[in-house]
């Protein structure tokens, strides 16, 4: 059976490694955006001007304390409230 017939609402996504700064944490992890899409479009996703998702999913996350720079958590999944994001950008280094 054709994959499109099995999952007609499936959106092909790709992992994008990002750094997120909140008031308390620097988080390095992966967001999953539509293939060929832009991070800004993913973050600004709305329907009729209403925000559709309050949280973004981060996988393979490393959470560092802003106050001392120490690694505090490693998690397969972290949900980050968009209202708490001060800065987010693609991560290009190690």
Q: pLDDT tens across 67-81, in order?
A: 999 999 999 999 999
* 94 inside domain: no
pLDDT confidence of 3, banded at 50, 70, 90? Answer: low
| Domain span including residue 43 | 3-88
In a domain? residue 40: yes
pLDDT confidence of residue 92? 86
- Domain contains 93: no
* Number of structural domains in the chain: 1
Quick check: is 11 in a domain? yes
pLDDT tens per residue across span 14-31: 999 999 999 999 999 999
Across 18-46, average pLDDT = 92
**3 state SS for 28-49:** EEEEEEECCCCHHHHHCCEECC
The pTM for the full model equals 0.82
Query: For position 53, what pLDDT does the model report?
Result: 83
How far, in Å, CA of 24 to CA of 84, rounded? 9
């Amino acid at each position: 059976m054709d994959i499109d017939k099995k999952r007609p609402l499936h959106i092909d996504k790709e992992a994008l490694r990002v750094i997120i700064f909140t008031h308390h944490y620097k988080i390095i992890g992966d967001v999953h955006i539509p293939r060929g899409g832009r991070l800004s479009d993913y973050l600004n996703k709305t329907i009729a001007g209403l925000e559709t998702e309050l949280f973004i999913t981060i996988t393979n996350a490393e959470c560092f304390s802003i106050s001392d720079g120490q690694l505090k958590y490693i998690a397969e999944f972290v949900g980050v409230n968009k209202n708490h994001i001060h800065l987010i950008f693609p991560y290009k280094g190690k």
